[in-house]
Amino acid sequence: MIGYISKYCGFCFGVSLAVKAAYDESKYDKLYMYGEIVHNPAVIKKLIKNNVSIINGAEEILKISSPKVLIRAHGIPKFAVKLLKENNSIIIDKTCPKVKKIHNVVSKAYEENKKIIIVGNPMHPEVVGINGWCNFSATVVKNIQHANEIIGELNPQDIFCMVSQTTFNYEKYLGIYKFCIKHLKDIEFNNTICGDTSNRQKEIMRLSKKVDMIIVIGGKNSSNSAKLFEIAKENCKYAQHIETENDLCFSKFGLISAFAVCSGASTPIESVQIVIDYIKKHNKENGVQTVISRFPAQPKMR
């Protein structure tokens, strides 16, 4: 059996910086994480053992004098940063630079009296954080059906600024923009999809067509892992979304000759290796040899 490893596995750049800071900063002092630093239960469990506590809002630590607070890659609303500063918190700001850029775009547009449209999941902390840089005035659009439902509520004479959650699918985002521009006169379109996210999605699409099973490793509450699973389900014969090796289901392994493993942006590379070793062990016990390989890169166009 051949097993391929997607070349986009392990933490993304933003998460990797935040997790490293969490370990470093909690070595000697108590550290408060503003929300779960990654949507990955295994990583969170390890950090909590390391003198790290989770808070779900700046209000929760107002009674503690000068707490050390780490802002995760998703970022937080402007008022929350202000509250932390007023409380003399020591802020370790690990908002991903790509998310910070969206905060700046939204902040500037808001000051210029533009109306903000955020395409993404309204409940996702990244979207809540972005909305917090325009005083929570944004219209959050979940998908094309939702755009259709709310378009009549927007004033076509206004000037709009559109951004998206970094993990949104680019084609779907573009589709929503194209729909909105038919109804609204002026929309400043900002491509705010993270390259890491789209690379993972493109690679999973490519792998889905070449193998019989895709295994996505990532927290069930991780939006980018869920999107990878969605693509895998739609394009591959079999797909599994697991958090750890213990969630693996081997019932279809007798029917496949090739599988591929990929991970969400909040999954450490060590977890990927553990899953691969577990599959190899299982196959060996069942008399099947497993050859693990990197999936050949896409040939370059000349």
- Reading the block at residue 144, the tokens are 């094309």
Shortest distance, CB of residue 265 to ligand SF4, whole angstroms?
A: 4
Which residue number is nearest to ligand SF4 in terms of Cβ? 14
Nearer to ligand SF4, 62 or 205 (CB): 205
Is residue 126 among the annotated active site residues? yes
Catalytic residue among 36, 86, 112, 126: 126
- Count Cβ neighbours within 10 Å for each residue of 176-196 and write b for 16 or more, e otherwise: bbeebeeebeebebbebbbeb
Nearer to ligand SF4, 115 or 124 (CB): 124
Site residues (CB under 6 A) for ligand SF4?
12-15, 73, 96, 98-99, 166, 194, 196-197, 265
Nearer to ligand SF4, 73 or 180 (CB): 73
What type of residue sits at position 19? V
Nearer to ligand SF4, 40 or 166 (CB): 166
Shortest distance, CB of residue 196 to ligand SF4, whole angstroms?
A: 4
- Reading the block at residue 53, the tokens are 């506590």
Nearer to ligand SF4, 196 or 212 (CB): 196
Shortest distance, CB of residue 5 to ligand SF4, whole angstroms?
A: 19
What type of residue sits at position 72? R
Shortest distance, CB of residue 71 to ligand SF4, whole angstroms?
A: 12
Shortest distance, CB of residue 264 to ligand SF4, whole angstroms?
A: 9
Give the residue numbers annotated as catalytic, written as ranges.
126
